[in-house]
């Protein structure tokens, strides 16, 4: 699908579902990575991630277009066009647009790592477990005011 075909599809969906014309540009943006599409407030254009069409098909593409058209029409009408706005949520339901696009199959699954830093007081040997590193020249032991030293750094899956 080329940009002009996307433009025609967006105009068709806008007219049939919203009953309003789409008067701006819709095009594929190859730089989009983490989202299916976006509505640009300044230019009123809609950008679409072509990978969603290639990997998930036209049904997913139409869902993304509906979602972005909800932003588009509500913004131009001066209504709540953001995800948190009630106007936006109601229009999504009315036109059958998804709230979020699906995950791309090629996208790597997020792996969560938990970093644990263990600091120990040199005087009383009290241990402190921290997620973030601390400045040992600035902070001291809360029990005896002794010097803290980092003893271990562990990464848990």
User: Which CATH code fits 3-95?
Assistant: 3.30.2010.10
The pTM of the full predicted model, rounded to 2 decimals, is 0.69
Half-sphere exposure of 61 (CA within 13 A, CB side): 22
Name the band, by pLDDT with cuts 50, 70 and 90, for residue 109.
Answer: low
Rg value, the chain, Cα:
25
Residue among 122, 113, 128 at smallest CA distance from 144: 122
Question: Average pLDDT of 83-97?
Answer: 95
Residue labelled with tokens 């706005």: 85
Domain boundaries, the chain: 3-95, 114-156
- The answer to whether residue 68 is catalytic is yes
Q: What is the pLDDT of the chain when averaged over all its residues? A: 92
Cα-Cα end-to-end distance for the chain: 42
- Which of 54, 68, 77, 153 is labelled catalytic? 68
98 versus 34: the higher-pLDDT residue is 98
105 versus 27: the higher-pLDDT residue is 27
Using one digit for the tens of pLDDT, what is the confidence trace for 115-133?
899 999 999 999 999 999 9
Q: Helices in 36-85 by DSSP H: which ranges?
A: 50-56, 58-77
């Amino acid at each position: 699908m080329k940009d002009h075909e996307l433009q025609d599809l967006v105009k068709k969906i806008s007219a049939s579902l919203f009953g309003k014309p789409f008067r701006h540009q819709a095009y594929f943006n190859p730089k989009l990575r983490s989202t299916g599409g976006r509505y640009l407030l300044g230019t009123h254009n809609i950008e679409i991630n072509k990978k969603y069409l290639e990997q998930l098909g036209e049904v997913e593409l139409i869902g993304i277009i509906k979602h972005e058209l909800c932003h588009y029409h509500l913004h131009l009408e001066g209504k709540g066009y953001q995800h948190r706005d009630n106007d936006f949520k109601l229009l999504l339901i009315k036109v059958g647009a998804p709230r979020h696009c699906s995950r791309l199959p090629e996208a790597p699954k997020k792996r969560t790592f938990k970093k644990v830093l263990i600091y120990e007081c040199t005087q009383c040997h009290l241990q402190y477990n921290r997620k973030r590193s601390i400045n040992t020249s600035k902070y001291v032991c809360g029990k005896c005011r002794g010097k803290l030293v980092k003893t271990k750094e562990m990464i848990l899956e």
